[in-house]
Amino acid sequence: MPNTAVENDNTISIHPKKMIEIIDVCKSFDERQILKNINLTVYDKENLVVLGRSGTGKSVLIKCMVGLLTPDSGSIKILDYNLTAINKEELNELRLQVGFSFQGSALYDSMSVKENLEFPLKRNLAIYERQKLHELVIAALQDVGLEHTLNLYPAELSGGMKKRIGIARTLILNPKIMLYDEPTSGLDPITSGEINELILKVREKYNTTSVIITHDISCAREVSDKVVALVNGESTLQGTFDELKKSENSELKQFFNY
């Protein structure tokens, strides 16, 4: 993790930069409380995995982090933006710096891979020059090892390829933070392993800070610096993968023994 060194007389103190800070976030739907006092901090270039069973509120949490849902209480600070007091213009600025890789890849079926990748460049960065678009699309495809799919359509891609193209489409805007929602769901173990490698490669190349939402234990083990387990909507279990593996919490034990 890179640190900011602050020199003060003869002493050097090290302050890792906070990229995401979530304090006491609660969210309910009707009478049902999904998130209960969630607290977590993600530092620069850190990979935080949010681990939890289906329906524990992992996607609700990630949606709160990009302003798609509003928490009932608590605060969310991302980069220098306070999401609980953000205006529309600032939210748009923030969204340019936060790449959200959706669970289902969210590719447009009627567009080729090339058109899918050009879309955010045109819409978000107003880049229309053909040569520039081509260079950026090829570079993003090279990053995920899929240059040869340029003219294919989503229906012609495997599940793993779709996930990679979804990541390329997010990376093309050069975000500071990557949010991955279930990056390995529905994939075989070998393809999942390739996606895990890609997540690590993305961090190295782009210096991204990442939040990875998953219920895939192998993914958590491979990519995490830190893990937060959501159990009954609470984030009380936090630590490294090995620390959480030793937890006596019965739900977490079942997870690790699965």
Ligand X SMILES: Nc1ncnc2c1ncn2[C@@H]1O[C@H](COP(=O)(O)OP(=O)(O)OP(=O)(O)O)[C@@H](O)[C@H]1O
Q: Which is nearer to ligand X, 28 or 112 (CB)?
A: 28
Q: Which is nearer to ligand X, 69 or 133 (CB)?
A: 69
Nearest CA among 171, 149, 176, 7 for reference residue 78: 176
Report d(CA 222, CA 117) in Å as an integer: 28
Q: Which is nearer to ligand X, 2 or 55 (CB)?
A: 55
Contact (CB, 8 A) for 48 and 40: yes
Q: Which is nearer to ligand X, 58 or 203 (CB)?
A: 58
Report d(CA 11, CA 30) in Å as an integer: 53
State the nearest-atom distance from the C-beta of 15 to ligand X, in Å.
33
Residue 135, burial from CB neighbour count under 10 angstroms (0-12, 13-18, 19+): exposed
Binding positions for ligand X, rule: CB under 6 A: 29, 34, 52, 54-60, 215
Report d(CA 164, CA 186) in Å as an integer: 13
Contact (CB, 8 A) for 206 and 39: no
State the nearest-atom distance from the C-beta of 94 to ligand X, in Å.
21
State the nearest-atom distance from the C-beta of 230 to ligand X, in Å.
7
Provide CB contacts within 8 A for 141, sequence distance 6+: 113, 117, 147, 149, 150, 165, 168
Q: Which is nearer to ligand X, 26 or 125 (CB)?
A: 26
State the nearest-atom distance from the C-beta of 56 to ligand X, in Å.
4
State the nearest-atom distance from the C-beta of 122 to ligand X, in Å.
30
